[in-house]
Homo-oligomer: A and B are copies of this chain.
Amino acid sequence: MASFGFRGHDHTACVADRMAAVEAQCAEKKLQLTPIRRRVLELLLEHHKALGAYDILKALEAEGRPAQPPVAYRALDFLTTHGFAHKIERLNAFVACSDPGHGHAPTFLICRDCNTVAEEPGTLSREALAETANLAGFQIEKAVVEAEGVCPLCRDEP
């Protein structure tokens, strides 16, 4: 369940499940999951990898709904603000969150060949981080781990 990003799975069901979960959360929190926001999230889920804002714009244009940069960035801002997606800083790209509602220290395993991103919870120990922060007198608000390497698929098929 953790690393589905790198294993075969029923992708259609995967996307549907996530969309349903996000819809439920939006209903509960009174958030507006507008058509554009919804479509951008679907694109992230369908591709199942990190997409840049301009990749999303290309996709929207390809399906007959051309849009300008602010449209993509606004939708992505909504999604990331509410925890439905994450920005991968190393790639200047975005992925759907694999576990909305998780804690605030996800670990991203980023394949340097295919840009697939797997999100794993809890690599970063809360204690170690707190200890480091206390040592420095620093007040941590959020932390992420970005690990780069090679995913199983790219390792096996060069």
Contact = CB atoms under 8 A, between A and B. Distances in A.
Interface residues of A, number: 40
Given A89-B146, A123-B128, A141-B150, 10 more contacts: A6-B138, A89-B90, A118-B136, A118-B138, A123-B124, A123-B129, A125-B125, A138-B150, A144-B145, A144-B146
Contacts of A5: 136
6 contacts: A3-B138, A89-B146, A107-B129, A109-B136, A123-B128, A141-B148
Contacts of A135: 2-3, 120
Nearest to A153: B137
A132 interface: yes
A142 B138 CA distance: 24
A138 B145 CA distance: 15
Given A118-B138, A120-B135, A146 B147 contact: no
A139 interface: yes
